[in-house]
Amino acid sequence: MKSIKIAFFDIDGTIFNHNTNSIAESTIEAIQALNHKGIKTIISTGRTRQNCIDVAEKVGITNFINVNGNYVTIDEKVIHKTAISLETLKKFDEFARSNNHCFYYCGEMDNNISSANHPYTEKHFNQHYLKQMKSEADFHLKNEVLQIALLCEHEYLPLYHPQFNDLTFKPWISIGTDIFVKGQSKAKGIEKVLAYYNFHADEAIAFGDGVNDIEMLQYVGTGIAMGNANDEVKSAANIVAKSIDEDGIFHSLKQLSII
């Protein structure tokens, strides 16, 4: 393994533990140790920038790959952005509403929910988070939309696939799917970051647990799946770490003598 110069981290199920609603002290210690050694640390998440600032501040990360590689900021500079076309957005908005499916648009900073009163809205969001979201019917007509989060059971996704063959669908919870421009991924975001720093993929390490992390784990020199990941994600990785409940990030970085 080449000397590691940069590390990429998913948030949910990797840094942030939803079982405890917290970040392990060992994870904070590990990431800060990387920073101290001069190794670049980057958040790589499906979340928008707005929705990961609190996590990033706690662990000491200031650079971001957001909305599954569609919005990349390094040193507060946007180095990559991909938006869904207005034509596709209009078609999607009409189609999802006609099926009574809840969804929200992800802009550069703001999220916009299709209906604050939909039953799945209350299932997915707490009230504090909902108050931070907009609910404007014409949001997609006035703002660039980088990603759509569709809130419905995955059994309904076959309705969408033939209608929107220019989009990629990445399910992440039982009623949640991230949707964005086909050809984009966290790996595409990593490609842009490595080019910015003039690093090689062999000099990069990445941690993830979700299906939307597969391309990322395959792209870097050392892809590490969390022990809580499913078998598909684990099979895409070079290494399977201990689970998030067992301080997987910390122990993997120690065992590889990176910290």
The CA-atom distances, in angstroms, between 217 and each of 99, 146, 156, 201, 214 are 35, 22, 28, 11, 5
Which pLDDT score, from 0 to 100, does residue 127 have? 47
Domain 6-81+184-255 = CATH 3.40.50.1000 = yes
d(CA 5, CA 197): 10
What stretch(es) of the chain map to CATH 3.30.1240.10? 86-181
For the domain spanning 86-181, the CATH number is: 3.30.1240.10
Of 172, 149, 207, 147, residue with least CA distance to 15: 207
Q: pLDDT tens for the chain, 259 residues: list them.
A: 789 999 999 999 999 998 999 999 999 999 999 999 999 999 999 998 888 999 999 999 999 999 999 999 999 999 999 999 999 999 999 999 999 999 999 998 888 989 877 777 766 665 445 556 788 999 999 999 999 999 999 999 999 999 999 999 998 877 889 999 999 999 999 999 999 999 999 999 999 999 999 999 999 999 999 999 999 999 999 999 999 999 999 999 999 999 9
Say what the pTM is. 0.93
What stretch(es) of the chain map to CATH 3.40.50.1000? 6-81+184-255
Of 54, 60, 53, residue with least CA distance to 22: 54
Q: Which residues on neighbouring strands pair with residue 134, listed in sequence order?
A: 112
Inter-axis angle of helices 25-36 and 248-255, nearest 10: 40
Please answer whether residues 168 and 181 qualify as being in contact, where contact means their C-beta atoms are separated by less than 8 angstroms: yes
